[in-house]
Amino acid sequence: MLKVMQALSEAVVSGDIDNIMRLTEEALRCSASPKETIDVGLMPGMDRVGSLFRTGEMFIPEVLLSARTMQMAMNVLRPHLMGGDVRNQGSVVIGTVQGDLHDIGKNLVRMMLEAAGFNVIDLGTDVPPEKFIEAIKAHHPQILGLSALLTTTMRNMAVVIDTLRESGIRHLIKVMVGGAPVTGDFAKSIGADGYAPNAVVAVDMAKILVRG
Ligand code: B1M
């Protein structure tokens, strides 16, 4: 199984869109769970992409290809993530905050929430505060999920929370935040109700938040 996990990591790094779906299916055939496939195969590849990008050994078009490759693998995993506890746990409006185009982690959180029985309304990336407010008024979710991957955009999470307050609806919703630069301390400092470092904890946190 280790071999296929290494092959998955390498496929993400090299942006091997021709083989990623076959390799992901192979991992599942070798009895790897979707979570193992993500944590041991795909994520290490994406982390390596991050390091190579930081040191200037990889450039944006290549990073985009890696991102696309990872998304293709996640599309294969998606149906396998479903079918666990499918009771309706509540609704979540989720999005990546304004100025930020990163969506792989947010999509993973969405998939895991859906798999756990949440109804998720995904607003996509680069979402302005007003769009979050509109969606909350339209869908009445219990949770608002905000994702940010840049140190420059994580401050926009605070802007969304301020806008909720100004709109008089802050008390109606729990806010969960996450993304690589976000920490528990940061979450507290902006008045969020919950923080999750990864998609698995995001599901646990969402369950805690809906229970009140
Ligand atoms: Co960008 N990028 N990027 N990038 N990129 C990072 C984030 C960076 C760390 C790379 C680096 O320098 N090493 C760096 C940020 C530095 C910083 O701010 N400190 C960076 C930069 C600088 C940039 C640009 C500014 C580059 C440029 O243009 N010069 C630019 C910004 C564009 C913009 O957003 N306005 C940019 C662009 C891009 C691409 C478009 C090329 C592409 C994104 C494609 C896409 O998402 N569709 C991209 C990518 C792929 C990355 C890296 C390599 C990978 C991110 C990723 O998908 N990780 C990233 C380096 C890295 O993180 N290793 C990097 C995998 C993903 C599953 O993890 O998103 O952390 P993550 O999600 C996790 C948790 O964080 C958590 O759960 C997820 C699953 O476990 N989580 C939540 C996430 N959201 C959550 C929400 C929750 C709870 C948990 O509750 C609601």
Ligand 1 site, residue 53, Cβ cutoff 6 A: yes
Distance 71 CA to ligand 1 centre (A): 13
Determine whether the shortest distance from the Cβ of 121 to ligand 1 is under 6 A: no
Name which of 122, 109, 123, 113 is nearest 89 in CA terms: 113
Write a three-state SS string for 93-152: EEEEECCCCCCHHHHHHHHHHHHCCEEEEECCCCECHHHHHHHHHHHCCCEEEEECCCCC
**Which numbered atom of ligand 1 lies nearest the CA of 151?**
18
In the prediction, which pLDDT does 155 show?
A: 97
Report the residue among 46, 51, 58, 102 best suited for mutation to probe ligand 1: largest number of ligand atoms under 8 A from its CB: 102
Nearest CA, atom 80, ligand 1: 198
Would you give per-residue pLDDT tens digits along the chain (212 residues)?
889 999 999 999 999 999 999 999 999 999 999 989 998 999 899 889 889 988 999 998 898 899 889 889 989 998 887 655 456 889 999 999 999 999 999 998 998 888 778 999 999 999 999 999 999 999 999 999 999 999 999 999 999 999 999 999 999 999 999 999 999 999 999 999 999 998 879 989 999 999 98
* CB of residue 146 inside a 6 A radius of ligand 1: yes
Ligand 1 centre distance from Cα of residue 111 (Å):
17
Residue 50 Cβ inside 6 Å of ligand 1? The answer reads: yes
Q: What is the pLDDT of residue 83?
A: 59
Does 104 contact ligand 1 (Cβ within 6 A)? Answer: yes
Measured CA distances, 177 to 42, 120, 148, 188 (Å): 23, 15, 8, 10
DSSP 198: S
pLDDT of res. 87? 64
Q: Which atom of ligand 1 is nearest to the CA of 60?
A: 41
Does ligand 1 have an atom closer than 6 angstroms to the CB of 49? yes
> What is the pLDDT at residue 80?
87
Ligand 1, atom 63, residue with closest C-alpha:
50
| Residue corresponding to tokens 């509540």 | 90
Whether 174 is in the pocket of ligand 1, judged by its Cβ within 6 Å, is: no
Q: Which of 114, 9, 124 is nearest to 69 (CA)?
A: 9
Distance CA 69, CA 186 (A): 31
Q: How far is the CA of 168 from the centre of ligand 1 (A)?
A: 32
Measured between its terminal Cα atoms, the distance across the chain in Å is: 41
Any ligand 1 atom below 6 A from CB of 47: yes
